[in-house]
Amino acid sequence: MQRDANVLDLRVIDPERRDLVGGKAAGLAALIRLGERVPDGFCVTTEAYRLDEVPRDEVLAAYERLGGGPVAVRSSATAEDLPHASFAGQQDTCLSVSGTENLLEAIRACWTSLHTERARAYREAAGIPQDTARMAVVVQRMVDAEVAGVLFTANPVTGSRRETVVDATLGLGAAVVDGTAAADHYVLDGPTQQARGCLTPARLAELRETGARLQGALGAEQDIEWAYDRDGVLWLLQSRPMTALFPAPPESREPGPRLYVEFGHVQGMLQPATPMGVATLKSVLAGMLASFGIAVEIVDIGGRLYGDLTDAMRDPAARQRLVKLMAVDFGPRAQAVVEHLLDDPRFTPRRSARRPSAAALTAAPGAVAGILRALARPEAARAGVFGEIERLRRRPVTDPATAAELLDLLEDGAPPHTGDAILWPVVTGLLVCAALPPLLRGIAGDDEIHTVLGGMPHNVTIEMDLALWQVARRAAPYREMLLDTPPDQLAAAHLAGELPDFGMAESSTRTASAPPPRSTSVYRGGRRTRRRCSRCSPTACGSPTPSRPRTAASNAPRPGPRRHSPSSPGAPAASDRCGDGSPGSSCGAHGS
């Protein structure tokens, strides 16, 4: 194939030449080489795009060889149908194009669509340099579709590789692809299907078989566009890798389902860990779980850490401890899931001569000593955790001077710091939480126990929840203003420091004898001055009250008894009373 070719028949394209024909044309060429049924067509290559001139004579000659008539003109950018970025719907497709001039115009439209704002934004999000993108164009004979749609060889919602998902509609499938039309939705998880919708069981079986064949041949889960013509013949219009599918767990030595739980999800780790972080966390987590007598394999899936709980679920001694551990660190919902799976026959206990693992034997002495120290001196243990974190933060980090030193560090495999001073006080806290339910069984119900746990001190999560609750409580009187003011005006007022202070910036040491200073805030009604009730502490009240003299702008919503004002129907009237100083409150103070 010549490097400077401007127009190529799809049947002669080398699928490896994405730089010349783009992703869509390369994918169609691969299907043709596999012997699949693909509509005849040709490709206007990136070489023509580089010259910025549609090769009129070559295009019209290729169009004539197709027999003229309606064709589909489809973008085929070099940065398209990639394993990590599909670019679905980002560039133009023109269907049922007839006539030479319309064809040439449609090719130019595809070229132009490479530089739309949405296409540029998609490339930027995918980390693809803008100056590397080139556009080829695929022209194919239109299929007179009776029914068409898309097929996924894995479930894009659940990630299940055992399910095939089909969306189909009568006529052209473009509306299914771009999501503008309702489609019949099929989840195929067995060999037989009941007749419903626009696809017969026979056609569903054929689609599923086709998807499995292409996945096996192309080596990855596929997103396939297809159409049945009026004669009932299946045509493949595109096949590309599924890009929104989370990586599958590693292959297991034993058949059957496995139970995984993500550690990063619980700890709020929003990004994948680095390789060194993965190695360190694997060692720490395995040792911590081993101290509970639970053997869990820590695996890396997509740069995130998961615990394979399957063996622990099948261990007669460990499975009940696992339920308690889930309740402490993962919450009641995760605990309910694990308890439900205890009755699943696929996780039936297997009796075996289980011996303590090497990790458990290694971790046990340090675990016992660390837990006993934390129980005996909890304040000292807590101070030690924060001190160790600060020490690690201040410790200078020196990169290996040579590649050989870096290789030695990686091959060593042992984390540079075991973190016992941090780990075992945390484990002690988990154990104390786990001990409450059995200790209070018959004395307190589950809801009461959760209330007790929620009120325990030094719980960062609970403290954050309470802080958010306080902000929501203080923002409640401004509900109408926050909901009705356009976002750009709210953003501008925030940047100018003119929104009410909902308490996020208040000092925890401020007392009733040192009331907060005056501040100003802007509403659509104008500017007003406010200060807080002088008798309420920030945590007990903290409600903004108007100062005198008042202006018309002070009719904006504020804390206080909700009355209807003649000047502002439905809005709260101005009041001198502290928002928490209603007759039934413990404050009862007036703004000063």
Taking only the tens place, the pLDDT of each residue in 152-188 is 999 998 888 889 999 999 988 666 666 566 789 999 9
Report whether pLDDT(393) > 50: yes
* β-pairing verdict for 71-77 and 145-152: unpaired
User: Which among 173, 181, 179 is positioned nearest to 145, based on CA atoms?
Assistant: 173
Pick from 23-32, 110-119, 279-288, 562-571: least confident: 562-571
Report whether pLDDT(2) > 60: no
More confident residue, 550 or 310: 310
Contact 177/225 with Cβ under 8 angstroms?
yes
Pick from 308-312, 330-334, 481-485: least confident: 330-334
| Edge-first strand listing for the sheet containing 41-44 | 7-9, 41-44, 135-141, 71-77, 93-97
Report whether pLDDT(544) > 50: no
CA distance 396 to 311: 40
pLDDT at residue 176, rounded to an integer: 66
Report whether pLDDT(351) > 90: no
Pick from 70-79, 219-228, 582-591: least confident: 582-591
Report whether pLDDT(147) > 60: yes
pLDDT at residue 165, rounded to an integer: 94
E runs forming strands in 54-134: 71-77, 93-97
Pick from 283-287, 297-301, 400-404: least confident: 283-287
CA distance 235 to 229: 8
Q: What is the DSSP letter of 272?
A: P
pLDDT at residue 590, rounded to an integer: 33
Report whether pLDDT(506) > 50: no
pLDDT at residue 453, rounded to an integer: 75
Report whether pLDDT(552) > 70: no
pLDDT at residue 466, rounded to an integer: 85
Pick from 177-181, 220-224, 421-425, 588-592: least confident: 588-592
How is residue 27 written in tokens? 């994918």
Report whether pLDDT(133) > 70: yes
How would residue 532 be classed by pLDDT, with cut points 50, 70 and 90? Answer: very low
pLDDT at residue 291, rounded to an integer: 65
CA distance 356 to 290: 9
CA distance 565 to 554: 12
pLDDT at residue 564, rounded to an integer: 34
Q: What is the DSSP letter of 590?
A: B
How would residue 361 be classed by pLDDT, with cut points 50, 70 and 90? Answer: low
Using DSSP, state whether 188 is helix, strand or coil. Answer: strand
pLDDT at residue 87, rounded to an integer: 47
pLDDT at residue 462, rounded to an integer: 80
pLDDT at residue 64, rounded to an integer: 94
Q: Please provide the average confidence, as pLDDT, over all residues in the chain.
A: 75
Report whether pLDDT(241) > 80: yes
